[in-house]
């Protein structure tokens, strides 16, 4: 009984910020008062605030760019990572462990160390403030995690499956595409969800490598709007924008939580 009470109290504390976000994002922009932040407003103005946010910061263009980055880059990243894991484990690539360490070793460096080299390289290559440049960057960042999970997953698949497919005359790539890739659907989905969330919530790379509204990620646009809250943007409008931006990842996790948990457990052993 005591444990249930403690869990309920902790749950309410954890949901407190969410409650404040919903309540204050739903009140009319002109009636916001910090002293009554916990009290719901009689007037419901959430959709009006979202509409104002979309117009004020041009969030629609940033949302479209972020959707492109978040959908395409993880897909390419998990595919390249699966190919890397397949080559290292199944094809028994020579010096496979060293290749794996080379791929995964890049994750030991903090992201902040990459900003200056990336900025200089992107400026010289003409990829600065370009959607293609952002797609390439996010894909490269996603490959190590995918390679790590898929390498572990393929290590648990019987090698006799590969041998049987070869005896049937299947090519190396066909075995990967028709046998190993379908077998690893759960692991691929778990990695995809993680990488989708990372790209959607990215701020630092978008802040450094983009400038125009049609290219910048949505978190950069939201950051600019939150900064403007202190210079005239009503707080409910900024909160409504934050709520709108956070919905895709929340909905994705709620819709795929079982698949996500099963995929991570399969890729961990």
All structural domains of the chain, each given as residue ranges with its CATH number in brackets, are: 2-45 (no CATH), 52-267 (1.10.3720.10)
The rounded distance, in Å, linking the Cα atoms of 269 and 254 is 25
Mean pLDDT across the chain, nearest whole number? 86
Task: Say which residue the tokens 């009140």 belong to.
Answer: 27
Please determine, for residue 269, whether its predicted confidence score (pLDDT) is greater than 50.
Answer: no
What's residue 197's pLDDT?
92
What's residue 230's pLDDT?
54
Strand, helix or coil for residue 50: helix
Between the CA atoms of 214, 218, 219 and 223, what dihedral angle is there, to the nearest 10 degrees?
Answer: 70
Q: Are 240 and 25 in contact (CB under 8 A)?
A: yes
Task: Say which residue the tokens 């995929």 belong to.
Answer: 263
59-85 and 131-155 helices, crossing angle to 10°: 40
What's residue 144's pLDDT?
92
Mean pLDDT within 82-109: 86
pLDDT in tens, 154-206: 888 888 889 898 888 889 999 999 999 988 888 888 889 989 999 999 999 99
Cα dihedral 158, 160, 166, 170 sign: negative
235-267 and 46-56 helices, crossing angle to 10°: 90
Low-confidence winner among 29-43, 126-140, 202-216, 224-238 (lowest mean pLDDT):
224-238
Please give the model's pTM, rounded to 2 decimal places: 0.86
> Where are the alpha helices (H) located in 57-111, listed in sequence order?
59-85, 96-104
pLDDT in tens, 24-67: 888 888 877 777 778 888 888 888 888 888 877 678 888 899 99
Q: Are 23 and 40 in contact (CB under 8 A)?
A: yes
């Amino acid at each position: 009984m005591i444990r249930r009470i403690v869990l309920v109290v902790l749950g309410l504390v954890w949901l407190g910020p969410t409650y404040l976000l919903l309540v204050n994002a739903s009140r009319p922009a002109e009636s916001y008062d910090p002293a009554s932040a916990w009290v719901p407003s009689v007037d419901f103005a959430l959709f009006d605030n979202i509409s104002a946010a979309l117009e004020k910061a041009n969030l629609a263009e940033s949302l479209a760019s972020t959707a492109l980055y978040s959908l395409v880059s993880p897909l390419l990243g998990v595919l390249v990572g699966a190919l890397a894991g397949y080559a290292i484990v199944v094809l028994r690539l020579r010096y496979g462990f060293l290749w794996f360490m080379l791929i995964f070793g890049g994750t030991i460096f903090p992201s902040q160390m990459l900003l200056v080299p990336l900025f200089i390289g992107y400026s010289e290559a003409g990829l600065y403030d370009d959607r293609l440049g952002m797609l390439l960057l996010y894909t490269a960042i996603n490959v190590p995690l995918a390679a790590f999970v898929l390498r572990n997953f393929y290590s648990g698949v019987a090698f006799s499956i590969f041998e049987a497919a070869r005896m049937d005359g299947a090519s190396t790539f066909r075995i990967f595409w028709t046998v190993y890739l379908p077998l690893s659907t759960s692991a691929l989905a778990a990695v995809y969800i993680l990488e989708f969330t990372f790209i959607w919530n990215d701020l630092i790379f978008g802040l450094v490598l983009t400038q125009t509204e049609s290219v910048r990620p949505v978190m950069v646009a939201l950051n600019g709007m939150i900064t403007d809250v202190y210079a005239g943007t009503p707080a409910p409008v900024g909160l409504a924008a934050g709520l709108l931006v956070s919905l895709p990842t929340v909905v994705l996790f709620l819709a795929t939580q079982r698949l996500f948990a099963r995929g991570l457990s399969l890729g961990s052993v």
